[in-house]
Each structure stands twice: as structure tokens, then as C-alpha cells.
Amino acid sequence: MDFKIEATNCLDFSDAELSELLTEVYVGEGYVGAEQAATMFKAATVRSRGKIITASHESHQSLAGLVIMVPPTSNARKLAKEDEVEVHLLAVKKDYRNNNLGHRLLSELILQAQNEGYNKIILWTQSSMIAAQKLYSKLGFVHESNFEAKGLDFYLYTRSL
């Protein structure tokens, strides 16, 4: 399968398609409750976080995955300092997994962050997201610490640029 990776802010994708992808991955796999997702995954809220990097299926023009690069100026920023960016909502549809899309999306985010002059990338992941943790380590992210929020255990990762 051929996929196109680009920073689009999801302009080519409908609000429903954007929300559907995030709900499928995060609610469907038990990482976020449906009630929380109804607010968290509203397309306008997602689009306002930062630069959305998408993976789209070349022949179908359908949204296969995304990740958001959240700058320190965004209201969605939680931990990043002035010269750092955060990674939010890495998601790849189940049907398109095992095509290296998570790796390609994060690699593009790293390149974008370097090109924009940031010094560090910060992300956090739930302790149960083992496949994501392996991917982060493979791409040079270092597990820095653990923390708890809203009753869930999270791992904090960073990558210097």
C-alpha cells in the first residue's frame, strides 16, 4: 500500500473522518472513555492544538493516521517550554497498521520540529501503550520519568534535536 505523509492540518479530511480515527484508536482500544472523547476529539479542538501531520492512503484519499506537533504557543501545550514541542494523539487506523505509518508520521514530526528550530520534543504515553513505547525508543526518545494523571499511569519521553 502507498501512503502520503504530509503536514496538512487535516484540511483535506472532514471533521467526521478526523474524529472517527481518534475515537476508533483511543476509545476502541480502551485508552480514553467515550464521554471524555466526545469533548477531546471534537475536530475543532483537535485542529486547534497545532500542526497536524497526516498519513493518507494514496488510492482512497482516506485518512489512515495522524500525529499533532503542538508548539509552546498552543493552548493545548502541557509540558513544553519555549524551545520545545509536544507530540499529541499519534493514531493509525487498525486496517493500516504494520505499514510503518507510526514511524513515518513521527519521523516527519521530528523533521518539522528540527526545521522550525526547536531543541526538544516531549511526549507522554499511557503505561499500557507498549507498541508506542517501542516506537518512541526506536526513534531516539528517552524515557525520563513516570507520572499519574486522572487515575492513569503515564511515561514521559523526550528527544533532543
| 10 has a pLDDT exceeding 70 | no
Pick the residue with more confidence: 1 or 84?
Answer: 84
- CATH class (in words) of the domain with range 3-160: alpha beta
pLDDT at 149: 87
What share of the chain in percent tops pLDDT 70? 98
> Would you list the domain boundaries of the chain?
3-160
Q: What is the pLDDT of residues 16-74, one digit of tens each?
A: 999 999 999 999 999 999 998 988 999 999 999 999 999 998 777 789 999 999 999 99
Q: How confident is the model at residue 133 (pLDDT cuts 50, 70, 90)?
A: very high
What is the mean pLDDT of the segment spanning 129-146? 96
| 131 has a pLDDT exceeding 80 | yes
Cα 22 from chain centroid?
10
What is the mean pLDDT of the segment spanning 87-95? 95
| 14 has a pLDDT exceeding 90 | no
DSSP per-residue letters across the chain: --EEEEE-TTTTS-HHHHHHHHIIIIITTTSS-HHHHHHHT-HHHHHTSSEEEEEEETTT--EEEEEEEE-TTSTT-SS--TTEEEEEEEEE-GGGTTSSHHHHHHHHHHHHHHHTT-SEEEEEEETT-HHHHHHHHHTT-EEEEEEEETTEEEEEEEEE-
pLDDT at 9: 64
Other C-beta atoms closer than 10 Å to the C-beta of 21 total 24
Cα 67 from chain centroid?
3
What's the CA angle centered on 44, arms 20 and 101, to 5 degrees? 45
pLDDT at 136: 97
Sheet holding 120-126, edge to edge: 3-7, 51-57, 63-70, 84-92, 120-126, 152-160, 142-149
What is the mean pLDDT of the segment spanning 86-106? 95
CB-based contact 63:56 (threshold 8 Å): yes
